[in-house]
Amino acid sequence: MIAIAVLLIMLAVALFSAAAGGGDIPLPEILGLTAVFAVFFGAGVYIAAVLGILGMLVGLVFSDRPWWGFVGQTLWAPSSNFVLVAVPLFILMGEILLRAGLSDRLYRALNIWLNRLPGGLLHTNIAACAVFSAISGSSVATAATIGSVALPYFKGSHYDNRMVLGSLAAGGALGSLIPPGITFIVYGLITETSVGQLYVAALLPSLLVTGLCMLVIVAHGLRRRQERPPPLPLGMKLRALLDLGPTLLLMLLVLGSIYAGYATPTEAAALGVVGAALFALIERRLSFRLLNAAAEATARNTALLGLVILGAYLLNYLLTAINAPQVISGMISGLPLPPWGIMLCIIGLYLALGTFMEGFSMIITTVPVIFPVVTALGYDPVWFGVLITLLVEIALISPPDGTVMYVLQGMRPKPGGPITDIFVGVTPFLLAYLAVALMMLVWPAIALAPLALMR
């Protein structure tokens, strides 16, 4: 699907570029590339390989410049960027926390405080995902970690299984939106936007999404009129705060150092790794085996993401060399529509792509083309970074190809039900995400006001 989507973008670019240049449209070459990538799609070729090979073919077919002389420099620039070092560090921090068992304590403590709300334990799913997202930076890691802890609690319970899975999917998707989300780092790298400013601008939108998801659960609980458990003693609630201590301290260490201006996101990620290791040591779980397993998982995920970024950079470099982004930017900017109308079209495009494209690939393949259009319309790059991250979150829980939903489906106890249970359960939460995206379009200050205050 990704190969086909990228190919269609390239096809449109080639046609518009040829038309704008007044030359002949190279239809045989375009049709040949279409056939090649239809074969790639059918064979299930890896995303990184698809992007890299597509970039080389675009250069060979459409460019008359010796682009191969610049490939090394083009690929070296993103791979040596200091900001990108934060990605493996945040992944390593989350892997250590997962293996140290802090997620169990987090879930139990939040359950003690939230179980009396209408919807009961479903609120714990959202809250635990939101808190863990603030130290994880990854939606898939958040969904996998909290899902592994939460699903046993609901076994044999009276809760609607679809809402359980839907709330876990919606909460897991928060992993990229709540700082320190890795998606912001990738967007900042591509567009040369401050990652620290993106983290500040994401505060209110992430709180809005979390609040609306919990409102969905309240409405569900009131409709079903579930019997609420008896109140727990205050002493038990206060003791539960001790279980929240490690997670909250780690949040303060990572996010506090960024917002206070004491550390860059990369430096804060390094502090987070040290803090996670210290908490694992306090829990008496720090061992060479734990560190080795965490490092292996981190290397695997980082290599996968790094190859995708390098392939996309090559493709973006060659598309820029044939003036594709400039042609598309001028064409869209010249449409007889107001800026908000064009932004609605862009949002609709990302919602459509999200039904069959993975989040990182969607950002890497489209932002270099869409970003000049957005800035030409007068929109703030930081605001757009938060909006596109929110749209990526929607992609992660959009049927039929939402990554987070397939992670949860694989974790369901056997015999598990059909994945359509998750599709149905996540639908009301999808509406909450869409509502925040539209609110950001109407009131950009939702993202920009905190940034103005920090300045």
- Report the alpha-carbon distance of residue 190 to residue 208 in Å, rounded: 27
User: Which 8-state DSSP code applies to residue 67?
Assistant: G
Q: Please, what's the b/e burial string for 412-443 (b: 16 or more CB within 10 A of its CB; e: otherwise)?
A: beeeeeebebbbbbbebbbebbbebbeebbee
Tokens 């999404």 correspond to 209
By CB atoms closer than 10 A (0-12, 13-18, 19+), residue 356 is middle
CB contact at 8 A, 77 and 314: no
- Report the alpha-carbon distance of residue 290 to residue 268 in Å, rounded: 22
pTM, two decimals, is 0.73
Per-residue pLDDT of the chain (455 residues; tens, 9 = 90+): 444 444 444 444 444 444 444 434 344 555 555 565 556 655 555 666 666 777 777 667 666 666 666 666 666 766 666 666 777 887 788 778 777 777 777 787 888 777 777 877 788 888 888 888 887 777 777 777 787 788 877 776 777 788 888 888 888 888 788 887 878 888 888 888 888 888 888 889 999 999 998 898 888 878 876 666 666 666 777 777 777 777 788 888 887 887 777 877 778 888 888 888 888 888 788 888 888 888 888 887 777 767 766 776 676 666 666 666 556 556 666 667 788 888 888 887 777 766 656 666 677 767 877 888 888 888 889 999 999 888 888 877 877 666 677 777 776 777 667 778 888 888 888 899 999 999 998 898 888 888 777 76
Neighbours of 228 (CB within 10 A): 13
Residue 383 CB partners (closer than 8 Å, separation 6+): 201, 440, 444, 447, 448
Residue ranges per structural domain of the chain = 83-304+334-455
Tokens 């570029």 correspond to 17
- Report the alpha-carbon distance of residue 313 to residue 75 in Å, rounded: 7
Neighbours of 64 (CB within 10 A): 8
Tokens of 78: 């993103």
What is the SS3 assignment for 381? helix
pLDDT of residue 241: 75
pLDDT of residue 356: 57
Tokens 């083009």 correspond to 74
pLDDT of residue 37: 54
Name the packing angle between helices 2-21 and 288-321 (round to 10°).
20
